[in-house]
Amino acid sequence: MVPPTCAASKPAYLLEGFGYSVAATFLVAVVARGGGIGLAAWAWIVAGLAAGPAFFVWRAIARRTGVWRALGLAYALQAVAVALPALSDAPAAALFAAVGFGGTFLAITALTVAEVRHLGGVPAIGRATFLYGIGQALGPLLAGWLAEAWGSFDPALLASGACVAAGAMILLSHRIRRPEPCPS
């Protein structure tokens, strides 16, 4: 059992930064390839609309399950959403990906920052942000290389989905306990 620290979240948050940045950078181009620019525009609008209430939904989930379990579930949903456009060109897949991505990315950051601050103070937020930033910098760089090598963004989205899924597994496999409910 991991003591109540944010140590287990560090590699998960780095992986999230990697996976998030690839999806945010290339998802529209991938959806446009399969369904046209109109579907890509709608997918991005849907992602934005899903992002609005997402924090409140995930905060409610965190209050029922605990913050780390809620984050693990959000990562798992995002992993599917990131990989799905590489697996299907169907408009329904694009819209599910948009809801899954939009409905998680801001909430993951908000819950992580609140929890890390609670457990480690402001310096811990800086360290978490640094790791997330490394993932954000490496994600598009490696995704561009994969796209160039394979002639498609599909391998990059699958790798990104796998990274976010690995982060989910890290968070869901640790029993991190916290004595108080999630902060508002």
Q: Per-residue confidence of the chain (184 residues) as pLDDT tens digits?
A: 333 445 667 889 999 999 999 988 888 888 888 888 888 899 999 999 999 999 999 999 999 999 999 999 999 999 999 999 999 989 999 999 999 999 999 999 999 998 888 888 888 888 889 999 999 999 999 999 999 999 999 999 999 999 999 999 999 987 655 544 444 4
Q: What range does the domain containing 78 cover?
A: 9-173
With respect to residue 179, please indicate whether it lies within any of the assigned structural domains.
no
In a domain, 180, yes or no: no
- In the chain, where does DSSP find H-type helix? 9-65, 67-87, 91-102, 105-150, 154-173
Q: What is the pLDDT of residue 158?
A: 95
Output the pLDDT for position 107: 95
Here the CATH number for the domain that contains residue 16 is: 1.20.1250.20
Q: Do the domain assignments include residue 85?
A: yes
Q: Would you put residue 177 in left (φ > 0), alpha (ψ -120 to 50) or beta?
A: beta
What is the pLDDT at residue 115? Answer: 86
Examine residue 114 and state whether it is found in any structural domain, yes or no: yes
Does residue 30 belong to any structural domain of this protein?
yes
Q: How far apart are CA 62 and CA 72, in angstroms?
A: 10
Domain count, the chain: 1
> What's the pLDDT at 6?
59
Asked if residue 42 is part of any domain, the answer here is yes
Contact 115, 67 (CB under 8 A): yes
- Would residue 1 count as lying in a domain? no
Residue 40 to residue 150: CA distance in whole angstroms:
22
d(CA 182, CA 87): 35
Cβ pair 120, 6 in contact under 8 A: yes
Query: Are 47 and 80 within 8 A, CB to CB?
Result: no
* Core vs surface per residue 110-136: b (16+ CB within 10 A) or e: ebbbbbbbbbbeeebbeebbebbeebb
CB 9 within 8 A of CB 115: yes
- Find the length of the chain: 184
Residue 2 lies in a domain: no
